[in-house]
Amino acid sequence: MFVCCRYDFGWILALSALFTFSDASSQTVNQELSNIFNELWKLDVNRLMPGTHYNISLQGKAGYIPQGSTSAVDHASSPLFTSVDEAKLNSMTTYLLDNYERSTGVAERVTAEEVTENNSFLDAVLETAVMKRAHRYLIGKGKSHSDLRQFKSQLYYMWFRLYHRDRNGGEDSSGFEHAFVGETKFGREIMGLHNWVQFYLQEKQELLDYKGYKARDNDAPNEDDHVLNVQFSWHGLVKPVASAFVGVSPEFEMAIFTILFLTSTEKTTTAVVNLDEYQLEMVVHRHGRSIGTAYPKLLSSNNRHV
């Protein structure tokens, strides 16, 4: 189950697409965040492994299209995911994908059952070594309380609190819905949907069509990569460039973006990190004390930045 406000994120996403393939060598790496994120990477025992738990087919390189497009040349005749070990996936207590209203401006109706599911999901996340380490790090930084109940409340407010993403509608969005599930804006633009499980499930239902990978000519991805830039269509709209982790657990994604969010007060926080064999620009945009959007932006893979 996986799950951009009264603020217009269109210009942010357009700039993100424009600078996705900036020169990694010109970026200043945040070494402290690199260190803690690599610790969390090593602790992520729920990460699915390529070739074992899933297989992907990268196919062709997608072309340029502007934001708001409804069509794109398809450089991938087959889905991105050729197989996923669903038994492995479903055995994870931290995999949650609820039904959310796709369009911003349409108020969400959160039932008591959904609140219970969200709380159970957070309880499971808090039991993982990944989130326990992230919690200790945030306590050390003075950004979270040591009391687990207070930390859980902090996480719930950050990720699941409903807020107005469209100024004319009701409480229509949350950080979790945007980043993990995806939304559409006025039926003209795809927002969010940075989670690989949601991508796979939407592909399986033939609601999402993978159009090809995005990369610089000298940095083509491999099928065992855990971070990809891709292009896809969803419900009649096209996302020109979307960056996402592949195979990682939801607790890993929540942990790194929670750290990035809580250790900064900027409206939009970016940090370049070296994670495993990748150089990434991590991006978090805040909506008050909640997450507006959060995603990785792949700068370089296969240690080409070293």
Distances (CA, A) of 296 to 43, 154, 186: 19, 22, 25
Catalytic residue among 135, 164, 178, 214: 178
- 8-state DSSP, 124: H
C-alpha–C-alpha distance, residues 75 and 209, integer Å: 11
List, in order, residues 6 or more apart from 23 with CB less than 8 Å away: none
C-alpha–C-alpha distance, residues 14 and 264, integer Å: 23
Catalytic residue among 164, 211, 214, 239: 239
- Of the candidates 205, 105, 114, the one whose C-alpha atom is nearest the C-alpha of residue 163 is 105
Question: Is the CB of residue 67 less than 8 Å from the CB of residue 13?
Answer: yes
- 8-state DSSP, 45: T
Coil, strand, or helix at residue 303?
coil
- Of the candidates 15, 28, 30, the one whose C-alpha atom is nearest the C-alpha of residue 67 is 15
Q: Is position 194 annotated as part of the catalytic site?
A: yes
Question: Is the CB of residue 16 less than 8 Å from the CB of residue 241?
Answer: yes
Catalytic residue among 135, 194, 214, 287: 194
Q: Is position 145 annotated as part of the catalytic site?
A: no
Q: Is position 75 annotated as part of the catalytic site?
A: no
Question: Is the CB of residue 205 less than 8 Å from the CB of residue 197?
Answer: no
Query: Which residue numbers are catalytic?
Result: 178, 194, 239
